[in-house]
Amino acid sequence: MYIGVVAGILALAGIAADARRRWPWAVALLLGVWLCFGNRIPVSLWSAIHELPVLSSMRVAQRFRIGVVLFLALFAGFGLDALVRLLARGGAARFARPIALTIVGVVLADLLWVNGGSGAGPSRSRRSQHTGAAISAKCSALPTMTTAGSSTARARRTRARSAPRGSSPRSSPTSASSKPTNRPWSARTRRSASSR
């Protein structure tokens, strides 16, 4: 979750500019940041909230980053507005709009540079290739599971269809030598296999 130094300073200025009126939003921002840490901190708000019926289906606490970024963007806008008002009161009213547009441009350029949107920033493709290689190496080390669409499962269904009536697919010599799967035979599968 990268917001940038300039946007962070603007957000802090936005909170400080009118803290009496904006304290509820600042508290919501702090609660969102606390929730984003998940179970990685000793006093975890996520552990308590994750027990609630609706939120128990959420797997990761980092989904609260969306709200945190929304509040940070809101406070950065308040900070930019306070800066423009300060410049207007200080006698530099004609420079207020160009300065504000320059700051917005710097924030956007920083975000694009860090996220790899332009050729000047860190190479995103190199990071993606490295991450992809690490993930594929870890996945290849995992044991494979038989699924309904795999060739082993298809072969087992074919053998079950061609087995003589009245014989169990497990008792046939071809199925006894096959690899065991993680999915046990159900009564319904045995019934349908023996009735064919």
Do 117 and 159 belong to one domain?
no
The domain boundary, picked from 86, 103, 123, lies at: 123
Do 16 and 105 belong to one domain?
yes
Within a domain: 81: yes
pLDDT at 27: 94
Within a domain: 143: no
Place of tokens 């998940």: 38
What is the residue range of 188's domain? Answer: 151-194
Residue 54, token pair as written in the block: 């609706």
Do 115 and 174 belong to one domain?
no
Q: What are the pLDDT tens digits along the chain (196 aa)? A: 788 999 999 999 999 998 889 999 999 999 999 988 888 888 888 888 888 888 778 888 888 899 999 999 999 999 999 999 998 888 888 888 899 999 999 999 998 999 876 555 555 555 555 555 666 655 565 555 544 555 566 666 666 666 666 555 554 455 444 555 555 555 555 555 555 5
Do 87 and 163 belong to one domain?
no
Contacts of residue 177, defined as CB under 8 A and 6 or more positions apart, other chains included, come to: none
Within a domain: 47: yes
Contact between 31 and 45 (Cβ < 8 Å): yes
pLDDT at 115: 83
Query: What single string gives the DSSP state of each residue in 36-103?
Result: HTTTSSSS-HHHHHTTSTTGGG---GGGGHHHHHHHHHHHHHHHHHHHHHHHHHTT-HHHHHHHHHHH
pLDDT at 194: 57
Do 161 and 108 belong to one domain?
no
Count how many domains the chain has: 2
Query: Residue 62 is which amino acid?
Result: Q
Place of tokens 């802090």: 12
The domain boundary, picked from 123, 139, 169, lies at: 123
Do 52 and 101 belong to one domain?
yes
Within a domain: 160: yes
pLDDT at 117: 64
Within a domain: 134: no
Query: Residue 15 is which amino acid?
Result: I
Do 117 and 170 belong to one domain?
no
